[in-house]
Amino acid sequence: MTEATHLLARVPKGAAHCLEFILRGGAAVVQGGRRRLERTHELLIKYADTPMDYADATLVALAEELATDHVFTLDRRGFLTYRWGGRRAFRLRP
């Protein structure tokens, strides 16, 4: 949510509309834990030369946990490089 609202800050009421979307069930808010934080750390080190930011690393770690290759992101450049589950590419949305 932090990344999405940040990116939408320049759009009139963008952050508010983003939160409304989430509150209506348009996206799930998923709590993390120590294991995901550890995996996020591993990914930040692995992709340090890309560079990967924290938001991207958490999306990759969550995708691995959920065994999905679908990622909703505006950061296509990074996600065209990142891999999950070894060498599998992501399918990006929008």
Backbone region of residue 62 per phi and psi (left: phi > 0; alpha: psi in -120 to 50; beta: other values): alpha
How many domains, in total, are found in the chain? 2
Q: How confident is the model over 23-46, as a mean pLDDT?
A: 94
**Are 26 and 43 within one domain?**
no
What is the pLDDT at residue 18? 94
Per the structure, the complete domain to which residue 13 belongs is given by 1-30
| Higher-confidence position of 42 and 72 | 42
**Are 24 and 45 within one domain?**
no
Q: How confident is the model over 30-43, as a mean pLDDT?
A: 94
Residue pLDDT, tens place only, 63-79: 999 999 999 888 888 89
Q: Residue 52 in contact with residue 78, Cβ under 8 Å?
A: yes
State pTM to two decimals: 0.79
**Are 26 and 52 within one domain?**
no
Closest CA to 63 of 47, 85, 44: 85
| Residue 6 predicted with pLDDT over 90 | no
